[in-house]
Amino acid sequence: MDVNKIKIFIEAVESGSLLSAAEKLGYTQAGLTHMVKALENELGLVLLQRGKFGVRLTREGSRLMPLFRELVSVQEKIRSEAHLIQEQKASIIRLASVASVIRTCLPDILMAFQKENPAISFEIKEGDDRIYQWFDRGEVDICITSNMIRRDEFQPLFTDEFLAVLPENYPIGRGETYPLSRIEEDPYIGSTCVHDCDVEELLDRYHIHPKQQSTYVDDNSLISMVARGFGISLLPRLVLKNCHEKVLLAPLDRPCSRNIGILCGEEGSSSLSVKKFVLFLKNWNFEQYQR
């Protein structure tokens, strides 16, 4: 049965006129009349009464009308679901993230998400401040980063606390806080990674100027240098999650943290897959990585 003929039949009934329905649908009246007649012949029933009053349903037509409407609705649902399936099959989410997220929580998130959405795959790029460039150039769909560069579209996910990273023999008691102002006296090692911008921002907020070593290295090298007594540093808890060096980690004496969140396109421009992943991220339990 041609569902298109049924749609035309429904329009004719709702318009109350074959001429009005033909004009609305872009058919000639003769062409539309022919399709309605073909539907009646296929079913072996007269569905419309025709007269000066226009058209109205026969008793048989009235009985079939709810089923006709249901058939049209089912066809639309099938097409919508087929489109969704095709979109998901071809769906690839281009994701950029800071290294600390990739090394800790991101694998758990991706495995859980793909368990629910096996047809969605990912292209993953690790970056620092380049993440913003990739996003602005449309090279990635979604970024997981800190809000070191203030962006209105940034959506926070969780707070990542900064800790003092100290040599094992540093004179501090168990459970004691590290006075942030002491950074002006202790030799401070800076990181080349993205969170060092967050450190600079929070030190500026407290008007603290570190006794800076002329050293900028990546996180792993930084921690190794601290372990060997070259200086101290500040790093986010997430970066220190898999730290195996012999260093002391001490909480700070005042609130110091960074926000980790997402950047993605406007809701109307994002694909269904990206929207699903964003919602998944917002519902994820990030507290388990902050202990």
Asked if residue 20 and residue 38 are part of one domain, the reply reads yes
- Judge if 50 and 114 occupy the same domain: no
Q: Which CATH number does the domain housing residue 68 bear? A: 1.10.10.10
pLDDT single digits (tens) 37-72: 999 999 999 999 888 778 889 999 999 999 999 998
Q: Are residues 60 and 14 in the same domain?
A: yes
Q: Residue 174 belongs to a domain with what CATH number? A: 3.40.190.290
Both 188 and 272 in one domain: the answer is no
Q: What are the two backbone dihedrals, phi and then psi, of residue 196, each rounded to the nearest 5 degrees?
A: -65, -25
What's the pLDDT tens digit per position in 114-162? 999 998 899 999 987 788 889 888 889 999 998 776 788 899 999 999 9
Q: What is the DSSP letter of 3?
A: H
Name the domain boundary from 66, 83, 100.
83
Percent of the chain scoring above 70 in pLDDT: 93
Q: Report the mean per-residue pLDDT for the chain.
A: 88
pLDDT surpassing 60 at residue 89 = no
Does one domain contain both 193 and 174? yes
User: 43 and 71 share a domain?
Assistant: yes
Q: What is the pLDDT of residues 243-258, one digit of tens each?
A: 889 999 999 999 999 9
Q: Domain of 75?
A: 3-83
Long-range CB contacts (within 8 A, 24+) of 279-282: 280/109, 280/112, 280/113, 280/116, 281/109, 281/144, 281/157, 282/155, 282/157
Q: How many domains does the chain have?
A: 3
Q: What is the mean pLDDT of residues 86-111?
A: 87
Flag whether pLDDT at 31 surpasses 80. Answer: yes
Question: At 137, is the secondary structure helix, strand, or coil?
Answer: coil
Residues 141, 175 share a domain: no
One domain for residues 168 and 230 = yes
Last residue of a domain, one of 44, 64, 83: 83
For the question of whether the overall pTM of this predicted structure is more than 0.75, the answer is no
Span 188-239, pLDDT tens digits: 988 877 556 788 888 888 998 887 666 677 888 999 999 999 999 999 999 9
Task: Tell me the CATH number at 122.
Answer: 3.40.190.10
- Please check whether residues 189 and 105 belong to one and the same domain: no
**Would you say residue 87 has pLDDT above 80?**
no
208-227 b/e (C-beta count within 10 Å ≥ 16 → b): eebeebebebebeebbebbb
123-to-107, 115, 160 alpha-carbon distances in Å:
13, 17, 25
> Which of 31, 52, 83 marks a domain boundary?
83
Residues 274, 212 share a domain: no
The verdict on 201 and 234 lying in the same domain is yes
Residue 64 and residue 187 in one domain: no
